[in-house]
Amino acid sequence: MTKENIFAVGTMHIELFLPSEQIGRNAIIPRMTHGLNIVTMRSGNEDVTDCDALITENLDISLGIRTADCAPTCFSDGKKIGVAHIGWRGLCLGFIEKMTENFDTTNLSIYVAPFLHSFEIHKDFCYEQIVQKFGERYFSEKDKKLIFNFKDAISSLLPPQTVYDARDTGTDLSLPSYRRKDSGRFTTVVSFI
107-122 confidence digits (pLDDT tens): 999 999 999 999 999 9
What whole-number percentage of the chain has pLDDT above 70? Answer: 97
Which helix (H) or strand (E) segment holds residue 130: the answer is: helix 125-134
Task: Give the model's pLDDT for residue 24.
Answer: 67
CA-nearest of 102, 51, 106 to 81 is 102
Report the pLDDT averaged over residues 151-156.
98
Assess whether pLDDT exceeds 50 at residue 150.
yes
Computed over every residue of the chain, the mean pLDDT equals: 94
Higher pLDDT, 24 or 124: 124
What is the distance between the alpha carbons of residues 36 and 50, in angstroms, rounded to a whole number? 9
What whole-number percentage of the chain has pLDDT above 90? Answer: 87
What is the distance between the alpha carbons of residues 30 and 91, in angstroms, rounded to a whole number? 18
- Tens of pLDDT along 44-92? 999 999 999 999 999 999 999 999 999 999 999 999 999 999 999 999 9
Residue 141 banded pLDDT, cuts 50, 70, 90: very high
Assess whether pLDDT exceeds 70 at residue 25.
no
Task: Give the model's pLDDT for residue 20.
Answer: 84
For residue 147, report the phi and psi dihedrals to the nearest 5 degrees: -115, 130
Measured over the CA atoms of residue 78, residue 80, residue 85 and residue 91, the dihedral's sign is negative
CATH number of the structural domain 3-116+160-192: 3.60.140.10
Residue 1 banded pLDDT, cuts 50, 70, 90: very low
Task: Give the model's pLDDT for residue 108.
Answer: 96
Task: Give the model's pLDDT for residue 65.
Answer: 96
Report the pLDDT averaged over residues 20-33.
86
